[in-house]
Structures are given as C-alpha cells and as structure tokens.
C-alpha cells in the first residue's frame, strides 16, 4: 500500500525538484532498461491489437506495472543503517497473480524480501520451515515377501541398499497447492508474462519507475500503472550521505531529512501521459478516506484511486474515480452482486465511489478488485481506440 507517500495534502512538487532528485540518484538502471525493452519486444504484436480492437500493430496483451513493498532511505552510502517503510507487499503480490489470470503481462517492481506472486499458496514461513511443511522423509518401501519365502522374511541386496537412501517426497496434503504454484510459474516462463524487478532504496525505486514508464510511453493507453508500493516521504540526498558508517560518537544523533518530491504528477503528466494510472490511499480514519482519495485524484490526475483502511484492507476497498469517467465494471452493470456495491456519486468531492467487499467464500479481495480495475482499463483503451 502506498501508505507513506500518497497523503495528497501537500503541494505538487515542481518538475525541477523531481529532476534534481533523479540527477542526485546514484542508480543507473541500465540492466533494468534492457530487461524491460526485451519484455516489451516479446509482447509486441505484428498483426492487429486484438484485445483493444484497434487497427495496426501494438501489443499482443495489455501490460501492467505493479509496484509493491516499501522503499528504504539509506543513512550512509555503504548502507548498514537505513529508514524502512514497512509493507509486507501482500496487495501487490496477489494483484499480480490476478492480473496474470486476467490476461495481462506484468512488470512487478518489488522490494527485495517482500511477498512474491504465488507465495500465498505456500505455508507462510522461512525457507527451511516451508520445506518441512511441504516435504517429508519417507522410509524406503517395505520389502515384499520374496517368492518361495514361506516365513515372509526376505533379504534382498537391492532393497537393503535403499534402506539408508535419502527419499524425500511431497506431503500428500500439499501436493495440489505445490502443483498450482509450479504450473503458474511454468505458464509465466512459457509466455514470458512476468518480469520481476527488485529494488531496495527510494533511489532505485524512482529511477526504475521513470525508466520503465518512459519505455512504455509509446504504448499509450494499453499500459496500466498500479502503484501499490509504500514510498518513503523523507530522505537524505545521496550527495549529503557519508561514505562510511556514522560512528557512535558521544551525544545524540541528529538527522535532518528532506521531503521526497511527489512523482505521481510527473508520471501522469510527463513520463507516461497516455497510460491508465491507479494509485492507492491507506488511512486509519474512515471519515477522511474519500476526501483524501479525491484530493489525490484531482491533484495528480490519476484515473482511479483504491482507498482502504488499515484494519480491514483485506476485506473492503473503495474505488474512487472522477465523475466524468466512463462507467465500467459493476458501476456499468447497475445494482451489483458479487461483492461490488452500486456506485455512489459524491458531487461535493466530484467523484464516484464503488465499495468492494471480499465475497465470503473467496481467499482474497484481489480477484474482484482486479476485475473492476481491468474493466475500467478496457473502457479507457476502448475509448482511445
């Protein structure tokens, strides 16, 4: 969740501040650029763009950039200490699975160590413990009585040789889950539909995000940005960081951190102005949620804000979009079943809201969320066609 960087209640940063931040970043991102370029090439269509109905070459499937996890802010260049913005990355990881199911190619920009797609099908534990829960040692099969051995005892050279052998098998109760994980990974490999790019710092994240958005820019409305990462609010510019670890001298440690310039407006207006952009708003207070989301919508010009509350974000989300947007998804289908409430028009805020609830029998709310988001993206690129 973008719980750190999307308060939306401050001035939009100027392009100058953004350019200064990126010029100060120590990250080049060349390898990332190469892998993104190859990914785009793979999904280019030589014939018509079937999924949009537009004539002429384009993509064989739409592309979504899902950002996930939280960015860090280093306190020294050879980073031992850093300020972290906690986010487990659950929303981004599960949304990625659902986007793949919905036919998207996904660029997953994720923090090292945060939740990965298909993880949620496995036991939540450290790697050695995961292995203990999905696999087990199995004794060698019991030796069948040898023919002609009336007392049932059999000594066979070949079977005794296996008595100490390592025989590890998958636990039967985990077999189906593991098969699903392996099939999902295999499908991604075969079709090249998932590109995972890992970041650690705010410098990595913003450098990569600009680079990716500029490479995707020529693809216009067929691209979606789904910005679920928790971006740091404050940082120390690289040029001001000490090379080595701050020594533990006497006295307190005083840190002065600058505001991270707001990149959302730049993304929407300059880096990828024709793409469909979804941002997130996480709050703890229900009363200000829609207002905060509406402010972000109007200030940065994103197409949709997914608003959620910390305590029930896995069960309820509210879609907030401009009144002028084409009705799509449950809003277009009229009074809704399947977990989506009817759209509500809020004239004061100038927005339409749709509340989504996790259907009781479903594992997560992301299937419904991605259905709704994808329907809006279809309406968006359909209008552009």
Q: Closest distance between a second copy and the C-beta of residue 325, in Å? A: 27
Considering the complex, state which of residue 262 and residue 367 has its C-beta at the smaller distance from a second copy. 262
**Tokens representing 321?**
């979009």
Q: Closest distance between a second copy and the C-beta of residue 260, in Å? A: 9
Considering the complex, state which of residue 80 and residue 384 has its C-beta at the smaller distance from a second copy. 80
Of 54-62, 118-126, 151-159, 317-325, the window that binds a second copy (rule: CB under 8 A) is 118-126
Which residues, 154 to 173, sit near a second copy by CB under 8 A? 166-170
Considering the complex, state which of residue 118 and residue 276 has its C-beta at the smaller distance from a second copy. 118
Q: Closest distance between a second copy and the C-beta of residue 185, in Å? A: 5
Considering the complex, state which of residue 48 and residue 186 has its C-beta at the smaller distance from a second copy. 186
**Tokens representing 36?**
């993104």
Q: Which of 183, 311, 363, 383 binds a second copy (CB under 8 A)?
A: 183
Cβ atoms of residues 39 and 45 within 8 Å? no
Which residues, 203 to 232, sit near a second copy by CB under 8 A? 230, 232
Could you give the CA distance from residue 102 to residue 117 in angstroms, rounded to a whole number? 14
Q: Which of 19, 129, 240, 345 binds a second copy (CB under 8 A)?
A: 129
Of 35-43, 98-106, 124-132, 330-338, the window that binds a second copy (rule: CB under 8 A) is 124-132
Tell me the site size for a second copy, rule CB under 8 A: 71
Q: Which residues of 86-121 are buried (b: 16+ CB within 10 A; e: fewer)?
A: ebbbbbbbbbbbbbbebebbbbbbbbeebbbbbbbb
Residues 6 or more apart in contact with residue 246 via CB below 8 angstroms? 75, 76, 81, 253
Q: CA 45, 50, 51, 53 torsion: positive or negative? A: positive
Cβ atoms of residues 3 and 87 within 8 Å? yes
Smallest CA-to-CA distance from 257 within 111, 83, 376 is with 83
Q: Which of 37, 175, 332, 344 binds a second copy (CB under 8 A)?
A: 175
Which residues, 8 to 37, sit near a second copy by CB under 8 A? 9-11
Residues 6 or more apart in contact with residue 128 via CB below 8 angstroms? none
Which residues, 238 to 267, sit near a second copy by CB under 8 A? 244-245, 247-259
Contact letters for a second copy, residues 269-308 (x by CB under 8 A): ---------------x------------------------
Contacts of 41-44 with CB under 8 Å at 24 or more apart are 42/105, 42/192, 43/105, 43/192
Q: Cα–chain-centroid distance for residue 343?
A: 26
Which residues, 77 to 116, sit near a second copy by CB under 8 A? 79-86, 113, 116
Could you give the CA distance from residue 306 to residue 285 in angstroms, rounded to a whole number? 15
How far from 373 is each of 11, 16, 22, 341, CA to CA, in Å?
28, 32, 30, 15
Q: Closest distance between a second copy and the C-beta of residue 132, in Å? A: 5
Considering the complex, state which of residue 138 and residue 149 has its C-beta at the smaller distance from a second copy. 138
Q: Which of 181, 309, 316, 327 binds a second copy (CB under 8 A)?
A: 181
Which residues, 326 to 355, sit near a second copy by CB under 8 A? none
Q: Closest distance between a second copy and the C-beta of residue 145, in Å? A: 23
How far from 282 is each of 10, 175, 234, 315, CA to CA, in Å?
16, 37, 18, 14
Q: Which of 2, 3, 109, 215 binds a second copy (CB under 8 A)?
A: 3
Residues 6 or more apart in contact with residue 131 via CB below 8 angstroms? none
Considering the complex, state which of residue 150 and residue 249 has its C-beta at the smaller distance from a second copy. 249
Q: Closest distance between a second copy and the C-beta of residue 4, in Å? A: 7
Considering the complex, state which of residue 149 and residue 312 has its C-beta at the smaller distance from a second copy. 312
362 binding a second copy? (CB under 8 A)? no
Under DSSP, is residue 202 helix (H, G, I), strand (E, B) or coil?
A: helix
């Amino acid at each position: 969740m973008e719980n750190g960087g999307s308060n939306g209640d401050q001035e939009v940063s100027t392009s100058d501040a953004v350019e200064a931040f990126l010029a100060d970043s120590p990250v080049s991102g060349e390898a990332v650029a190469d892998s993104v370029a190859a990914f785009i090439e793979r999904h280019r269509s030589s014939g018509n763009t079937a999924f949009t109905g537009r004539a002429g070459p384009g993509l064989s499937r739409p592309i979504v950039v899902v950002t996930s996890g939280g960015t860090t802010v280093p306190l020294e260049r050879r980073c031992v200490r850093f300020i972290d913005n906690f986010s487990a990355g659950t929303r981004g990881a599960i949304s990625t699975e659902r986007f793949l199911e919905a036919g998207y190619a996904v660029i997953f920009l994720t923090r090292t160590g945060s939740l990965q797609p298909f993880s949620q099908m496995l036991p939540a534990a450290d790697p050695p413990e995961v292995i203990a829960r999905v696999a087990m040692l199995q004794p060698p099969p019991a030796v069948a009585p040898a023919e002609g051995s009336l007392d049932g005892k059999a000594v066979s050279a070949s079977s005794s040789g296996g008595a100490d052998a390592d025989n590890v098998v998958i636990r039967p109760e985990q077999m189906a889950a593991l098969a699903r994980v392996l099939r999902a990974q295999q499908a991604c490999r075969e079709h090249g539909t998932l590109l995972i790019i890992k970041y650690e710092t705010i410098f990595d994240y913003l450098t990569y995000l600009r680079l990716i958005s500029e490479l995707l820019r020529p693809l216009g409305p067929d691209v979606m940005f789904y910005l679920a990462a928790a971006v740091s609010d404050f940082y120390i510019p690289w040029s001001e960081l000490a090379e080595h670890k701050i020594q533990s001298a006497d006295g307190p440690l005083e840190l002065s951190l600058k505001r991270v310039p707001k990149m959302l407006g730049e993304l929407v207006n300059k880096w990828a102005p024709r793409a469909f952009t979804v941002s997130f708003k996480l709050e703890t207070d229900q009363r200000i949620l829609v207002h905060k989301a509406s402010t972000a919508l109007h200030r940065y010009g994103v197409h949709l804000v997914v608003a959620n509350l910390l305590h029930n974000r896995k069960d309820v989300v509210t879609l907030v979009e401009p009144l002028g947007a084409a009705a799509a998804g449950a809003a277009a289908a009229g009074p809704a079943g399947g977990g989506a409430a009817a759209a509500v028009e809020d004239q004061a805020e100038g927005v339409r809201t749709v509340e989504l609830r996790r259907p009781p029998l479903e594992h997560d709310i992301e299937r419904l969320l991605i259905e709704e988001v994808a329907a809006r993206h279809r309406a968006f690129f359909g209008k552009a066609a």
